[in-house]
Structure 1
Amino acid sequence: MLTRRLFLGGVAAAVFASAAQAQDMPVYFDTDGAAMGGYDAVSYFNGDGPVRGKPQYSVMWKGVEWHFSSAENRDRFESNPRAFAPQFGGYCAYAMAQGELISTDPTLWQVVDGRLYLTHSPEIEEMWSSDRAGFIRKAEEYWPVVLYHQ
């Protein structure tokens, strides 16, 4: 009985330690001090493609600074960030389907079923495009667990 209690106590301590560590870890990939390399996440949904944001129109969300090209886009993001933020923390959607965290190029993107996905390179973008639905399903199995095992 004592062995079982020690074992369960150790498991509980490990779980709580992982949870505490996870809370400190930013979920969204950033470069140059901003999510998505400073690109405006809302701009991908406006029909014009990605537009670089400006620091004066910024907001902190999920431990990362997000830049926007206008106060209007910033306000739209703040009203529903999950509608505009890229899937899988802004990490490469194709790599996530392989269980890996890889940086992205914010100019390589696709909106699928109203969700923004970023990829790493033109070659990866082409591979990802060959079976987006399949890769999204695989990536969803790894996300967000992969963050805590890197």
Structure 2
Amino acid sequence: MATVYLGLGSNVGDRISYILKAIEKLEEFLEIEKISTVYESKAWGFENQGNFLNFVLKAKTSLLPQELLLKIKKVEKEVGRKERFKWGPREIDIDILLYKDEVIRTKLLKVPHPFLEKRDFFVYPLLEIEPNVIHPIYRKPLKEFKPENTLKPFCCILKV
């Protein structure tokens, strides 16, 4: 089983509802081990839109990275994601941040996530659940990357 870290976010409609639906669907093929605090953050890239709720989860999977990506895209669609423009509003967005300590660079999949160390809504929730994680490209602890922290704790999701 491979350890994966996923970043999830929502900034459209009932954000918590979209997040909970996504977790429920992900549990059909992932063994979720930890979920960070849910944080509210400003949009990144295209900033003229509503604030996001973001968090990171740690899970185990038997899926290969490309298989995992396909399943994640299916979950996004099933939860209600509508295709818009790049970095636009999203009902749900699920990113593969890390897959084991692998570096994957294909046309459709880039792991670690290309902006992992630059986005506070990835770095701080990931460090919350895995304080000693190593960035697989730089081979340095993620805690050495300190993007400006603009996150506001929003809520916690308790997994029973």
User: Quick check: TM above 0.5?
Assistant: no
* Higher RCO (CA-CA < 8 Å; seq separation 6+): 2
Between Structure 1 and Structure 2, which shows a larger proportion of strand residues? 2
* TM-score normalised by L of structure 2: 0.25
* TM-score normalised by L of structure 1: 0.26
Between Structure 1 and Structure 2, which shows a larger proportion of helix residues? 1
Q: Which has the larger radius of gyration?
A: 1
